[in-house]
C-alpha cells in the first residue's frame, strides 16, 4: 500500500518520433554536459580565458569521459550487461560509472588544456562547481530508468518503483529511498559550498577541485549504504564504498598538504588575463 505521499516514477523512459526512439536518459546527460560547459566557460572567461579552450576541452573530455564511465561499469558490473553482443555499448540502458567518467575525462581535459598553455589548476577550479551541477542533473537519468534506488521506505518522499524494476527480494515493497534525488541535492549543495568557500577563503589554485572530490565522495559514501542494486562487494561492503572512501581520503590529504605548503610570500603572482587565454595565431 502506497504512503499518503510519494514520488512517482515515469511510465516510460523513451518517446517514439517516427522511426526514432528518444531516450530520456541520454537527453538528461546532454543537459548535464551543457550545464557543465556553460558554467565552466562563464567562470573561465571571467578570469580572462576564452571560450575556444572550453569547447575543445569539452569535446575531448566528454568523449573520453563517456568511454571511461562505461569502462568502469563494464569492469565492475559485467554481470549486469545485456546478454547480447552490443551489451557493453548499451549506454541508453544506463550503466555509466561516475568515477571512470570524471577520472578519464579530467585527465584528457587537463592534457588538452596543458598543451594549449593554459593554467590547468585554475581551469580545474573553474570546472569544480560545474561538474557537481552536471552530476546532480545527470542523476535524474536514473529516475527515468527506475534504477539505482535505495531500500524500501515509508517516508513521504519514497520513490514509487514499478514491479518489473524492483529487486526480487523487495518485490512486495512499493516505495524506496530516492537515492537519485539524495545525490542530486547533495551535489547541488556541494556546488554552493564550493562557491562560498571560493569567495571567503584564499585557496591554492587546484585546491577547490580537491575539495570538490572530497565533498562528492563523502556524499557517495552515505548514498552507497542506502542502495540495493546489485554490486560487487569486498568483505560484505559495496565496491563503490571503498572507491568513495579512498577518493575522499586522498582528496583531503592533497588539499591539506598543498594548502599548508603554500606560502603566500612564495606564491606565484596572479596570472595576467591574457596569460590564461590561448595564444592566437598570427
Res 30: pLDDT: 92
Residue 139 included in any domain: yes
Contact 53, 113 (CB under 8 A): yes
Residue 273 included in any domain: no
Res 158: pLDDT: 95
Q: Round to whole Å and give the CA distance between 146 and 144.
A: 6
Contact 25, 194 (CB under 8 A): no
pLDDT tens, residue by residue, 95-125:
667 878 888 999 999 999 999 999 999 999 9
Beta bridge mates, 20: 17
Residue 1 included in any domain: no
pLDDT tens, residue by residue, 132-150:
999 999 999 999 999 889 9
Residue 5 included in any domain: no
Look at the chain and report how many structural domains it folds into: 1
- Could you list the residue range(s) of the whole structural domain that residue 104 is in? 14-261
Answer whether residue 13 shows pLDDT above 90.
no
Residue 111 included in any domain: yes
* CA neighbor of 124 nearest in space, from 54, 227, 24: 54
Residue 160 included in any domain: yes
Q: Round to whole Å and give the CA distance between 26 and 81.
A: 17
Residue 76 included in any domain: yes
Residue 251 included in any domain: yes
Cite the beta strand spans of 162-258 per DSSP E.
Answer: 175-176, 233-234, 237-238
pLDDT tens, residue by residue, 148-192:
899 999 999 999 999 999 999 999 999 999 999 999 999 999 999
The DSSP 8-state label assigned to residue 84 in this structure reads S
Contact 276, 118 (CB under 8 A): yes
Amino acid at each position: 500500500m502506497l504512503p499518503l505521499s510519494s514520488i512517482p516514477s515515469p511510465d516510460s523512459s523513451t518517446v517514439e518520433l517516427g522511426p526514432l526512439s528518444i531516450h530520456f536518459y541520454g537527453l538528461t546527460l546532454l543537459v548535464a554536459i551543457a550545464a557543465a560547459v556553460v558554467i565552466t566557460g562563464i567562470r573561465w572567461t571571467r578570469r580572462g580565458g576564452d571560450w575556444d579552450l572550453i569547447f575543445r576541452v569539452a569535446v575531448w573530455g566528454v568523449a573520453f569521459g563517456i568511454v571511461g564511465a562505461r569502462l568502469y561499469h563494464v569492469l565492475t558490473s559485467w554481470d549486469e550487461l545485456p546478454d547480447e553482443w552490443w551489451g557493453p555499448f548499451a549506454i541508453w540502458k544506463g550503466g555509466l560509472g561516475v568515477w571512470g567518467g570524471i577520472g578519464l575525462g579530467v585527465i584528457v581535459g587537463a592534457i588538452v588544456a596543458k598543451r594549449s598553455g593554459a593554467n590547468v589548476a585554475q581551469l580545474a577550479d573553474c570546472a569544480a562547481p560545474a561538474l557537481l551541477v552536471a552530476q546532480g542533473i545527470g542523476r535524474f537519468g536514473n529516475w527515468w530508468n527506475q534504477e539505482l534506488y535505495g531500500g524500501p521506505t515509508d517516508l513521504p518522499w519514497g520513490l514509487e518503483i514499478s514491479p518489473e524494476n524492483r529487486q526480487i527480494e523487495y518485490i512486495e515493497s512499493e516505495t524506496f529511498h530516492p537515492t537519485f534525488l539524495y545525490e542530486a541535492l547533495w551535489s547541488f549543495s556541494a556546488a554552493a559550498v564550493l562557491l562560498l568557500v571560493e569567495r571567503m577563503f584564499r585557496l591554492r589554485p587546484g585546491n577547490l577541485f580537491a575539495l570538490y572530490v572530497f565533498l562528492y565522495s563523502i556524499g557517495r559514501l552515505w548514498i552507497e549504504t542506502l542502495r540495493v542494486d546489485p554490486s560487487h562487494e569486498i568483505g560484505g561492503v559495496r565496491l563503490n564504498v571503498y572507491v568513495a572512501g579512498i577518493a575522499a581520503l586522498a582528496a583531503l590529504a592533497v588539499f591539506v598538504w598543498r594548502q599548508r605548503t603554500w606560502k603566500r610570500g612564495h606564491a606565484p603572482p596572479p596570472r595576467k588575463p591574457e596569460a590564461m587565454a590561448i595564444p592566437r595565431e598570427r
